[in-house]
Amino acid sequence: MPNTPSQNTTSKKSATRREVLAGGSAVAATAAIAATLPVSASAQVGGSDEIKVGLIGCGGRGRGAASQTLNVGKARLVAMADAFSDRLEDGFKAICTEQNKKSGNAKGEIPENVTVEDKNKFTGFEAYNEVIDKSDLVILTTPPGWRPTHFEAAVNANKNVFMEKPVAADAPGIRKVLASAELADEKGLKVVVGLQRRYQNSYLEAYKKAIEEGLIGKPIGAQVYWNGGGVWTRERQPGMTEMEYQMLNWYYFTWLCGDHITEQHIHNIDVANWFLGTTPVSAQGMGGREVRKSNTHGHIFDHHYVEFAHPNGVMVNSQCRHQPGCFNQVREEIHGTAGICYLGNKPEIKDYDGKVLWRYRPDKSAEPNPYQVEHDHLHACIRSGEKVNNAYYGATSTMSSILGRYATYSGKKLTYDDALEKGADLLPKDWSWDSDPSIMPDADGNYPVAVPGQFDPFA
């Protein structure tokens, strides 16, 4: 049987104290189990043998997640929502195309497991409520600034959830996610978060060898990286409101994205937290904008370097960069008293003389796509009633990345607890296309950029 992901369900109280987050063993979750167990085994789907799926956020990741959840079987997409109608329609067509490809339907008809009538396609800021109302399982894939609100609404409505990482863009959002996670547990709801390395066999085997079997000895530190050339931009069009422009260019505004240290580098920070079994006590670092200086790139930094101090003197050095033409790497390594675990698709462990202590040799038949395994596991738990709630480690790893951003923006050494308690609320108070976002440009169209030594993340 394939390896199964670690499913930590640490309480909100213990999570905020930075206690152990290392994943233990979980129930086996496979597509076969998900396809054979009746949905009536779960109290949240009303006795039907089919899972009704709703998609909130129809961009690239939303389309992928919806297709993956439909691949499990006995699931049907019934409702969709996006702020923009054109993105919703593009997403609908992409999901239909992907499902037809899977089923071999060359005629291009609407597949049987996609029954989203026009009346169940919703747009605007409040559209998420309509989708939640019609679904058993809700997929949350909007820009992360909206995630806490959508997760809270789904849990309040007794819905199972798949939500992408990161789960928030600021500390108040994290507090809301942690409270909703506790309520989800009380209600027996199932929650999976898209930190897919925790569902990837190579990482699970490396964790077993390095941590459970102790091949690296006692963990004493880590190095984590997400260095690349950057991502897309979208041009401002005539007649756009400021809210519309920022929503379309969400990656470049902290209230929506959290900066790339949160949106992308969370993957690597999460691996460090997982393997070390802790979250940071404090952080300090540096960062800025060396390449992306135009207002086209909003106000986020293009590089961050953070020193995360974990309990007992354990340090994690974190790098992320969006600068074309530079040395790129996306990976993690965990250092122990007896050796180093180098992580990735083909992880290995070496001692300090360079001797290989273990190397991952995958059986190709046992190497499923971790993005798919996330959904296989979620559906299996819905059908069997087994507990799964990734929202806790999703929240603490997201908060770790936010702490890193607070540290680089401010130039100060900050504690995790202070950041979680005092971090500023970035979400706009009014939600409409004509309202002002929390970050506004000056008369020349330039956005305020954090200046280390002057920026206050708690203001």
Using one digit for the tens of pLDDT, what is the confidence trace for 299-330?
Answer: 999 999 999 999 999 999 999 999 999 999 99
Q: What is the pLDDT of residue 103?
A: 84
Q: What is the pLDDT of residue 12?
A: 40
Q: What is the pLDDT of residue 319?
A: 98
If you search the block for the tokens 């102790």, which residue do you land on?
214
The pLDDT confidence band at residue 362, using thresholds 50, 70 and 90, is confident
Spatial separation of the C-alpha atoms in residues 280 and 315, rounded to whole Å: 9
Decide: 250 and 256 in contact? Cβ < 8 Å.
yes
Spatial separation of the C-alpha atoms in residues 9 and 282, rounded to whole Å: 23
Task: Collect contacts of 58-64 with beta carbons under 8 A, ≥24 apart.
Answer: 58/82, 58/87, 58/88, 58/90, 58/91, 58/92, 58/141, 59/87, 59/91, 59/141, 61/141, 61/164, 61/194, 62/91, 62/139, 62/141, 62/142, 63/91, 63/94, 63/95, 63/98, 64/371
Residue of 57, 146, 94 whose CA lies nearest to 427: 146
pTM: 0.92
Q: Is the pLDDT of residue 450 over 80?
A: yes
Decide: 414 and 406 in contact? Cβ < 8 Å.
yes
**What is the average pLDDT value for the chain, to the nearest integer?**
90
Decide: 143 and 167 in contact? Cβ < 8 Å.
no
Decide: 190 and 378 in contact? Cβ < 8 Å.
yes
Spatial separation of the C-alpha atoms in residues 414 and 455, rounded to whole Å: 13
